[in-house]
Structure 1
Amino acid sequence: MNAIAPGTSRRALLKGGAAAGGGLLLGMFLPGLARVAVAQDAGGPSGSGGPGTAAAGFAPNAYIRIDPAGAVTLIMPDTESGQGIWTSTAMLLAEELEVGMDQVKLQAAPPDNKLYASPLLGEQATGGSASTRADWIPLRKAGAAARTMLIQAAAQRWSVDPATCQASKAMVTHAESGRSLSYGELADEAGRQPVPKDVKLKDPATFRLIGTPQKRLDTPAKVNGTAVFGIDMKLPGLKIGTVSASPVRGGRLVSINEAAARSVPGVQDVVRLDDAYAVIGDHMWAAKMGLQAAAPVWDDGPNAGVSSASLTQALDAASRGDGVVAKQKGDPASAIKSAAKSIDVVYELPFLSHAPMEPINTTIHVRPDGADLWVGTQVPVRALMAVAHETGLPPEKIQVHNQIMGGAFGRRLDVDSITQAARIARHLDYPVKLIWTREEDIQHDLFRPFYYDRISAGLDAGGNIVGWTHKVTGSSVMARWAPPGMKEGGRLDPDAVEGAAETPYDLPAHRVEYVRAEPQGLTTAWWRGVGPTHNVFVVESVMDELASAAGKDPVSFRRGLLGHNPRALAVLDLAVSKSGWNQSLPHGRGRGVALQFAFGSYVAAVLDAEVAADGTVRIHRADVAVDCGPVVNPDTIRAQLEGGLIFGLTMALYSEITLSNGRVDQSNFHDYRMMRINEAPVVEVHVVDNPAGSIGGIGETGTAIAAPALANAIFAASGRRLRRIPFATGQLASA
């Protein structure tokens, strides 16, 4: 897809809307809708485009195109990384447009914040479990507006009242006369109709697609091998390269044996940077062997002494200072001081790597007159600007071809690897595909922050909570990635306290503070839910600790705090009822419960886990209940909760990034291991369809709920309370 030409006026855009190659082209606006002129392109899911510059005040974030042949194209503002968003988004459009899913083609949107910025994220980005929430109303309005215009065109041709016409299956019919016309036949005329300012969305009771299970549109290509991921790119004259960067962040490259690297058969080039070097060959093996032969010598720089112990000590010290207040209700300190029982505990959560199955890769061709970038990215505009910054090329001379991704989990919300690729490609006169090895991918990741939390809480004589204080200490991803998102004069990261400042519970006295503490020698990043993946673990674990101290059942204890929150109470009761909570279990097994409100959705989980004498944990079953408001594709909800739960359980049992002498200790799946198939529990997902509720996100909810439910199940099974992730076997082995 070609971009809108720089300097195009709003008038020209509006005039061109009906004439962009024929057919109806509709741009989606927030809050309104208007047509725009965009050159047509036959590209598929790997379609590309340049940045473009729209006229002032013109900021659509998605497009519908219907060509004279009747093909419906959705130019997708959201990126597909296995989460199924292209299918769910297409369902929103197809529902209101009255077409079948088999009639919708998808095309990746070009990078342009003015056209495709997410209303929830503020820029063209896919993350934060925000895509469906952001698209829920605008895409349906876009489909409804297009449908209205098609009906108006048909009614005009037939000289009948539009109210007597109906749209269905990409056809407009006039029942009284028996006439019908296809969308393709009406496309040109529809493009000349006025865009309705207000459109009536369908009554949910009449939905045909929304709320029903739909097969994913990206599955066939992934099954038959025709899907093109970034790592699959093939181009004429393409060479393959791999990279080694300083093992200590901030270090510098002193020397390499370039002659030895070049002597490896198949090696074509060696590119040296100040903090890294790349070897390019005819194939990956040549590049990898050349990389090893180069025998680099590094100057580790100022971070050579950093270790996990030093980082933890720094967090502990920071946590003893005052933080910025994120929540203040009542006087919890006084209430705790006079409580009948109290707890004062510390919870720790480690740095985490993303480790997607498709490692970091970037294909790029830099020329004197422009550049092309083929990459899977969650932030296409940032990717484009990274290339522009490193090459000095104007943005309009750079084309970004966004690819589907083999996992992202937030890693591809950053463009450090694209910046590095552009620095390397400047020295080459041919296209190069740079692939990070698994070791490079893990050891040079941008990590989920290490959190160090101090929590105090008190109970009265009746076992009721009287006060709760929670101090979160850790790095701020928001401050680096999106500084405008910070609050309290830039001191409060709202993500770092999500799930802590606002819980599902009615706490009589509640204080939450945040202490920002950046780690030496590391950069932190988004990781399939940052704040909630640690805060829900802390809050729900402490909730269980208090229930135990009060001598109450963990479920009953929570119910007593949810009278004001019927949606939270409903998912809790649903998960508990499906789990057989009150049924007995064999010795060494226990059930744990957790509840959360995060990413706009309510989720409860009950896990059945067994702890063996040697400390080995086996998870038998998980029951997860979710209320995310209106259900778009129930299959996607189930898949995301199942996958997210496994991701979160993997974190809880095995995941930890540690450092020694400034270097990341872990390097591959042997020491940063994944949960294996035989370890995965039976997972039952119970979806509450709540059409009247506000719509919530799904992608990260399963990850956040996993660890606390497992920790509480381990406590029920063994009597051991684990306050540090991962749950190492050594913490659980019998004495």
Structure 2
Amino acid sequence: MNRRTFLGGVLVVSAPIALPASSEAAGEFAPNVFVRLDDRGRVTATVPKPDSGQGVRTMVALLVAEELAVGLDDVRLEQAHGDTERFGQQGVGSSFSARQLTEPIRTAAATARCLLVAAAAKRWGVPVAECTARDGMVRHGRRALRYRSLVRDAAALDPATVPVTLTPREQWRLLGRSHAGRVDAKAIVTGKARYGIDTRPAGALVAVILRPQWIGAVVDTVDDSAARAVPGVVAVTTLAPVTEGQGGVAVIARSMPEALRGREALRVTWRGGTPDADSRVWLAELESALPAVPTAPGPVAFEAVYRLPLLAHAPMEPMNSTAHLTATGLTVWTPTQDPGSLRTVLAGQLALDPANVRVEPTLTGGAFGRRIDFDPVLEAIACSRAAGAPVSVLWTRDDDMRHDSYRPMSVHRLSAVVDASGVPTWRAHGIATWPLTVLPFFENPDIVKYNGDHFPYSVPGKLDVALRPAPLRTGFWRAVYAGHFQYAEENFLSALGQRAGLDQVDLRRRLLPADSRLRRALDAAAARAGSVRPGFSRGVACHDDYGSVIAVIADSSEGRVRRVTAAVDVGPALHLSGVRAQVEGAVMDAVSTVSGAQITVRDGRVVQSSFRDYAWARIDRAPDIDVVIVPSDAPIGGLGELAYPPAAAAIASATGQTVTGMPVGVEVG
């Protein structure tokens, strides 16, 4: 398995999604599970993966509209429930969605189009080759039949007898050409879109949880008498760690305010864990665990150490889940990054037939890796069991910030040998960090290295990873370990260039093959960014990952990043505004983490509790962001996580300060 088929540690499924057949209802033509038409001409596309803000729903709509030769507004969307046998691999992570869905969805829509054309040709008694599909109609000369009049005829054809052809790229009308926004943008901005936090099935109760008061603590004693006396409180239940989420005491009530009042009335004592935990101590322990510096082939010209903090996901929609467990089955409504795997896991844990487990993924207000975890779902199931009713578990912002699965801390030591001009000829990179507790195989340093090592330059050297046990929950965070590795490596390369008085773009050009995609992207970014303006400092960084490449140039003045230019090659750019949006979002994550956001632990507790003290960038800190989409014939690549590592490195370097870690100019830990 090569790096490109490694799904960021989530789940590895490199096989393409199949196109299972779907039975037709009366007056409906459904040649597969992804596309169907009814006899009123309505086109419905089933979206097999959840949308966590990366635009999967819009991409599916574009793919279907393109291949079915209809308008984008003519495609209605339905979100698939969790069912890997029916819909294939449903996880979103490691920027795999476009790569996994493009050909299956195109083929599904093209199959429908070809069957409709064949049905029209058969009715007219003419060769299929003489017929064309356009604007929801099949045409032959001056004759035309709307799709709705062909639905029954197309449904009667044997798909195996009709050749399926995809629309050539040069004939695309929408893909790679349309600047359409998100198909659900209006519903989102008008408040009509329904997120997990909005979900309330009939008779649903609401639960909030008093969570462990320090890291690793478990419930010792519970006095819930005052909580049960609060009007509206229905039940109080103690949750077991791991099997029922993160543990704690849940208060189940008829409304959120009543549940919160019940939680305030609880009297709980705690035991175990690490009440004296301190993230500064953890950072020092990691630094002492750095691998030994290997023997260099010549004099080491420069060495630097970089320290990176804990980071929270902090999605705009806090964690939540709704569940209804009955004697015969389970239904879950939840914002999740993997409804198919969630269904499989729940069926196994509860010893239920998968046919009796239904997972309905809701629209997600941000994920960034956090919603790969199932802990809110387990909490909702435990609460539903206790209450004998559907229950929505809602996390407060404080809950979300202080009980996350955090991006691990890491410490990096880099060394280099350089030639007479100051260009590196050998490098060493030692990393000390923690595994991801959400997946056991990340306890293997080789997996961490495999996930994080994307050094794109022609400089030989050695990279070593040392893992220490994670002292708290850790999980996937946008770009996973590449965000650590590339930040240190690009800032180190920039420091080498500054010491030698080298232009940062020219230095990287000298270390990249002349005909490489990444060098072309770097040249495109440099051409768009132009020369450095007086009073500005500049940072440059590159990244090659997910089958895509990107070069980022950041310009700063007076301690603030003012402009970011990013040139990206993702192969065919299917959704142009979507490409720009993904880069822009990653740049803002980079601005935030470089300028001040970090999670710290004191006295066993996470200090930060909201955006008040978790210093995420406000809109007035947003730079001008210019995204250059580089034309490419490469295969479709991923994008959702691609821009964060180089954007963070370029912005840090552009500050003009000596970079020793993240955030810049702030004590780490």
Under a length normalisation based on structure 2, what TM-score does the superposition of the two structures give?
0.91
Alpha-carbon separation, structure 2, partners of 1:15 and 1:100: 25
1:233 aligned onto 2:199 = yes
| Structure 2 SS opposite 1:557 | helix
Aligned to 1:659: 601
Aligned to 1:444: 403
1:189 counterpart (148, 153, 162):
153
**Does the 8 Å contact 2:82/2:360 carry over to 1?**
no
1:527 aligned onto 2:477 = yes
Matches within 5 A, 1:249-288: 249-274=215-240, 275-288=247-260
Alpha-carbon separation, structure 2, partners of 1:400 and 1:220: 26
| Structure 2 SS opposite 1:396 | helix
AA matched with 1:81: S
1:375 aligned onto 2:340 = no
Alpha-carbon separation, structure 1, partners of 2:358 and 2:667: 52
Call closer, same or farther: CA 1:393–1:730 in 2, change over 3 Å: closer
| Structure 1 SS opposite 2:553 | strand
How far residue 668 of structure 1 moved from its aligned partner, in angstroms, is 1.4
How far residue 187 of structure 1 moved from its aligned partner, in angstroms, is 2.1
| Structure 1 SS opposite 2:120 | helix
Aligned to 1:542: 492
| Structure 1 SS opposite 2:289 | helix
**Does the 8 Å contact 2:547/2:636 carry over to 1?**
yes
1:475 aligned onto 2:405 = no
AA matched with 1:584: R
Call closer, same or farther: CA 1:286–1:131 in 2, change over 3 Å: same
How far residue 143 of structure 1 moved from its aligned partner, in angstroms, is 1.9
Higher relative contact order (CA 8 A, sep 6+): 2
Matches within 5 A, 1:105-504: 105-118=76-89, 124-175=90-141, 178-195=142-159, 199-211=164-176, 212-274=178-240, 275-299=247-271, 301-320=272-291, 333-335=295-297, 338-339=298-299, 342-389=301-348, 391-477=350-436, 480-481=438-439, 483=441, 491-494=444-447, 496-498=449-451, 500=453, 502-504=454-456
AA matched with 2:55: G
Once the two structures are overlaid, the 10-residue window that deviates more, 541-550 or 351-360, is: 541-550
Aligned to 1:510: 461
After superposition, what is the alpha-carbon deviation per residue over 1:245-290, rounded to whole angstroms, capped at 9, x for unaligned?
2133432112233111123333222122243111122221121121
How far residue 493 of structure 1 moved from its aligned partner, in angstroms, is 4.6
**Does the 8 Å contact 2:427/2:462 carry over to 1?**
yes
**Does the 8 Å contact 1:499/1:596 carry over to 2?**
no
| Structure 1 SS opposite 2:301 | strand
**Does the 8 Å contact 1:498/1:598 carry over to 2?**
no
**Does the 8 Å contact 2:429/2:463 carry over to 1?**
yes
**Does the 8 Å contact 1:391/1:426 carry over to 2?**
no
Alpha-carbon separation, structure 2, partners of 1:277 and 1:730: 35
Alpha-carbon separation, structure 2, partners of 1:643 and 1:87: 17
How far residue 492 of structure 1 moved from its aligned partner, in angstroms, is 4.4
Aligned to 2:39: 68
After superposition, what is the alpha-carbon deviation per residue over 1:64-88, rounded to whole angstroms, capped at 9, x for unaligned?
1222222222111121122222111
1:630 aligned onto 2:572 = yes
Alpha-carbon separation, structure 2, partners of 1:475 and 1:24: 52
**Does the 8 Å contact 1:593/1:605 carry over to 2?**
yes
How far residue 607 of structure 1 moved from its aligned partner, in angstroms, is 1.4
Alpha-carbon separation, structure 2, partners of 1:309 and 1:231: 35
**Does the 8 Å contact 1:111/1:384 carry over to 2?**
yes
Aligned to 1:572: 522
Aligned to 2:243: none
AA matched with 2:608: Q
Aligned to 1:47: none
AA matched with 2:270: W
1:585 aligned onto 2:534 = yes
| Structure 2 SS opposite 1:427 | helix
Call closer, same or farther: CA 1:476–1:26 in 2, change over 3 Å: farther
How far residue 389 of structure 1 moved from its aligned partner, in angstroms, is 4.9
| Structure 2 SS opposite 1:351 | coil
| Structure 2 SS opposite 1:26 | coil
AA matched with 2:477: W
Task: Say how many residue pairs are matched.
Answer: 643
1:23 aligned onto 2:33 = no
Once the two structures are overlaid, the 10-residue window that deviates more, 263-272 or 630-639, is: 263-272
After superposition, what is the alpha-carbon deviation per residue over 1:666-706, rounded to whole angstroms, capped at 9, x for unaligned?
2111221210111111111121232x122222212232222
| Structure 1 SS opposite 2:341 | helix
Alpha-carbon separation, structure 2, partners of 1:15 and 1:383: 21
How far residue 22 of structure 1 moved from its aligned partner, in angstroms, is 4.4
Once the two structures are overlaid, the 10-residue window that deviates more, 313-322 or 398-407, is: 313-322
**Does the 8 Å contact 2:370/2:476 carry over to 1?**
yes
How far residue 130 of structure 1 moved from its aligned partner, in angstroms, is 1.2
AA matched with 1:384: R
How far residue 391 of structure 1 moved from its aligned partner, in angstroms, is 4.4
Call closer, same or farther: CA 1:464–1:703 in 2, change over 3 Å: closer
How far residue 418 of structure 1 moved from its aligned partner, in angstroms, is 0.8
After superposition, what is the alpha-carbon deviation per residue over 1:350-385, rounded to whole angstroms, capped at 9, x for unaligned?
121101111011111222222221111111123334
Aligned to 1:43: none
After superposition, what is the alpha-carbon deviation per residue over 1:115-169, rounded to whole angstroms, capped at 9, x for unaligned?
3334xxxxx2012111112122222222222211211111112211100110111
**Does the 8 Å contact 1:231/1:435 carry over to 2?**
yes
Call closer, same or farther: CA 1:14–1:504 in 2, change over 3 Å: closer
| Structure 2 SS opposite 1:655 | coil
**Does the 8 Å contact 1:593/1:607 carry over to 2?**
yes
AA matched with 1:635: S
Call closer, same or farther: CA 1:390–1:278 in 2, change over 3 Å: farther
After superposition, what is the alpha-carbon deviation per residue over 1:399-432, rounded to whole angstroms, capped at 9, x for unaligned?
2221101111111111011112212221112222
* Structure 1 residues without counterparts, runs of 5 or longer: 1-12, 28-61, 119-123, 323-331, 612-616
| Structure 2 SS opposite 1:447 | coil
Alpha-carbon separation, structure 2, partners of 1:289 and 1:179: 69
Call closer, same or farther: CA 1:565–1:246 in 2, change over 3 Å: farther
Matches within 5 A, 1:74-93: 74-93=45-64
1:705 counterpart (620, 637, 646):
646
Call closer, same or farther: CA 1:15–1:296 in 2, change over 3 Å: closer
**Does the 8 Å contact 2:19/2:108 carry over to 1?**
no
AA matched with 1:115: R
| Structure 1 SS opposite 2:63 | helix
AA matched with 2:577: D
How far residue 482 of structure 1 moved from its aligned partner, in angstroms, is 7.5
**Does the 8 Å contact 2:252/2:383 carry over to 1?**
no
How far residue 20 of structure 1 moved from its aligned partner, in angstroms, is 4.2
Alpha-carbon separation, structure 1, partners of 2:267 and 2:314: 26
Alpha-carbon separation, structure 1, partners of 2:494 and 2:281: 31
Cα RMSD (Å) of the superposition? 2.4
**Does the 8 Å contact 1:343/1:457 carry over to 2?**
yes
How far residue 595 of structure 1 moved from its aligned partner, in angstroms, is 1.3
Alpha-carbon separation, structure 2, partners of 1:17 and 1:560: 54
AA matched with 1:63: F
